[in-house]
Amino acid sequence: MCDLYICDSPFLLIFNRWLNPLFKIGHKQRLEEDDMYSMLPEDRSQHLGEELQGYWDQEVLRAERDAREPSLTKAIIKCHWKSYLVLGIFILLEVKAFIYCALIFTICRSFKIRG
């Protein structure tokens, strides 16, 4: 069960609005593959696989040059580090905002109790 505060959050209502038509269809009938949104071309597995393959080939060449085993982890990090960095910054901002909101709420509540 979802906490009432989390479910009624204005942020969730705003940012998940694009899913409402899908929820309505799913509430009326079982969802089919045709009901789902289509993917962007850059998010398709073919494109992502080719991109990762390029980084893997570079890692294999570097490993042969440095006389070591190639590392799939390094290839994945080099392939996706930019998107994860952006995501990490947004998560950091979200966590900081949540902490500051909790601190401000606590301070306001303590003033209300005293007064």
What is the identity of the amino acid at 48?
L
Which of 48, 50, 26, 51 is CA-nearest to residue 36? 26
More confident residue, 18 or 98: 98
Q: Domain for residue 13, yes or no?
A: yes
Which pLDDT does position 1 carry in this prediction?
44
Say what the pTM is. Answer: 0.52
Q: Is the dihedral of CA 55, 57, 58, 63 positive or negative?
A: positive
Please state, in angstroms and rounded to a whole number, the distance separating the CA atoms of residues 60 and 54. Answer: 10
Q: How far is CA 43 from the centre of its chain?
A: 13
Matching residue, tokens 């950091």: 92
**pLDDT interval class at 114 (50, 70, 90):** low
Q: Domain for residue 20, yes or no?
A: yes
Q: Domain for residue 53, yes or no?
A: no
Q: Domain for residue 69, yes or no?
A: no
Q: Is the pLDDT of residue 90 over 90?
A: yes
Domain with 26, as residue range(s), is 1-37
